[in-house]
Chains A and B, each alone.
Chain A
């Protein structure tokens, strides 16, 4: 089944404790992206990757890191989480960065930073 998977689905952590949220897609997609979703704000892009070893900042990159060492994986790293990073996170992938390809979203990761 074609899908985007994220782990963990739920995470409660404390301020400053490094964490990684994994994202994996099995569709051989070139383009992957991370979003955060907050009430009333819709989805905002954190980082995106157009292919292996090619990443760039989205609209809200502060406090986050990403890597793209393999085509299928695009982990999101929070080196020192803070409470304002409490949010619902989605990973997405699409065939290409051509601008008219459907993005497939993962199920989401609910992160709470205390």
Chain B
């Protein structure tokens, strides 16, 4: 498959543990944030989003936290499974009213049995 993360930071976790992936965003005016998951050989897939008027949002096994004071976003995955192994990208909407996403460089999550 296509190699998208030759030089990415890697988070290694044991199956069943919780994972936390962090992201620093650049624009204090960004009003919408998304986490994407990219498996080898595939395009990015939406996981969860959050608007700037919230500081926490929960999905199925995933939680996104937003700290606007320090421009920090995190993705928490509960009970990490081997199928969670992928590269994870945060993205911020840099232009209000437009779907103008700026992506972070990504973090590789490696889940070990």
Is A40 touching B105 in the complex (CB atoms < 8 A)?
yes
Is A39 touching B98 in the complex (CB atoms < 8 A)?
no
State the interface size on chain A (CB cutoff 8 A): 32
State the interface size on chain B (CB cutoff 8 A): 33
Which stretch in A60-68, A70-78, A103-111 binds the other chain?
A103-111
Given A90-B43, A100-B49, A100-B51, A108:B99 Cβ within 8 A: no
Give 18 A-B pairs besides A50-B98, A94-B99 with Cβ atoms closer than 8 angstroms. A4-B43, A31-B99, A35-B103, A39-B3, A40-B6, A40-B105, A41-B105, A42-B105, A88-B2, A90-B43, A98-B99, A99-B95, A101-B99, A104-B46, A105-B43, A105-B45, A108-B41, A110-B2
Give A contacts to B, CB under 8 Å: 4, 31, 33, 35, 37, 39-45, 48, 50, 88, 90, 92, 94, 96-108, 110
Give B contacts to A, CB under 8 Å: 2-8, 31-32, 34, 36, 41-46, 49, 51, 89, 91, 93, 95-101, 103-106
